[in-house]
A and B are shown apart, each in its own frame.
Chain A
């Protein structure tokens, strides 16, 4: 049973526009959330994280929003650049960091 879901397997965005990647989770015990980016033939790269005590965290062009009541988080990339084209995974951790659950990923393509 997938506890973290990314319902859009792919997303295409024009360069310079905003990319919004979405993620839903089912376990209310999750209290820490992360986004990773993965290029082909490479391991994932950590992008940004957010704790459940916050509803927004920003790092440069990347902002993660958390809506605990909806069990939903999103990653905004503004402005999108061709180098952002990759697969993006969201992940969630339960209290005590006993396990880390990943979504199935969204492939972002930024069109020049």
Chain B
């Protein structure tokens, strides 16, 4: 069974630009959660999508948004990039909503660098 895939793996952008990251969950999984990992703040929950609906959201500004498609693939968008957005962005999938109450599987992450 294929795991969670994230594209691209590495990305370099400049301040003010926007970026879209993609996550394909494990086949049959309907929940996708997004996380940000930085050296200063560690791992932080961004949001969870289930059945194309945002189920909950962490403490991030509105510049961070996402969506989920009918095939459960999810995209995350960050607009007006700031230097502090440089991070490893991880997505995780699980069979049902409430990702972490049910075992969730993480992808390898997308390393975003903002210059």
Q: Which residues of A contact B (CB under 8 A)?
A: 2, 32, 34, 41-46, 49, 89, 91, 93, 97-105
Chain A residues within an 8 Å CB radius of B105? 43, 46
In the bound complex, CA of A89 to CA of B90 (Å): 14
Question: A42, A100, A105: which contacts B45 (Cβ < 8 A)?
Answer: A100
Q: Which residues of B contact A (CB under 8 A)?
A: 4, 42-45, 56, 58-59, 90, 92, 98, 100-101, 103-109
Tell me how far the C-beta of A45 lies from the nearest C-beta in chain B, rounded to whole angstroms: 7
Establish whether residues A99 and B59, one from each chain, have CB atoms under 8 Å apart when the complex forms. Answer: yes
Establish whether residues A102 and B100, one from each chain, have CB atoms under 8 Å apart when the complex forms. Answer: no
Question: If the complex has contacts A98-B56, A99-B56, A102-B42, are A45 and B108 also in contact, measured as CB distance less than 8 A?
Answer: no
In the bound complex, CA of A89 to CA of B43 (Å): 9
Question: A41, A46, A99, A104: which contacts B104 (Cβ < 8 A)?
Answer: A46
Question: If the complex has contacts A43-B107, A43-B109, are A104 and B42 also in contact, measured as CB distance less than 8 A?
Answer: yes
Tell me how far the C-beta of A100 lies from the nearest C-beta in chain B, rounded to whole angstroms: 4
Establish whether residues A44 and B44, one from each chain, have CB atoms under 8 Å apart when the complex forms. Answer: no
Question: A34, A43, A105: which contacts B106 (Cβ < 8 A)?
Answer: A43
In the bound complex, CA of A49 to CA of B107 (Å): 20
Chain A residues within an 8 Å CB radius of B59? 99
In the bound complex, CA of A100 to CA of B104 (Å): 13
Ordered by A's residue number, 23 sampled pairs between the chains whose C-beta atoms are within 8 Å are: A32-B101, A41-B108, A42-B106, A42-B108, A43-B4, A43-B90, A43-B105, A43-B106, A43-B108, A44-B90, A46-B103, A49-B100, A89-B42, A89-B43, A97-B56, A99-B59, A100-B58, A101-B44, A101-B45, A102-B42, A102-B43, A102-B45, A105-B43
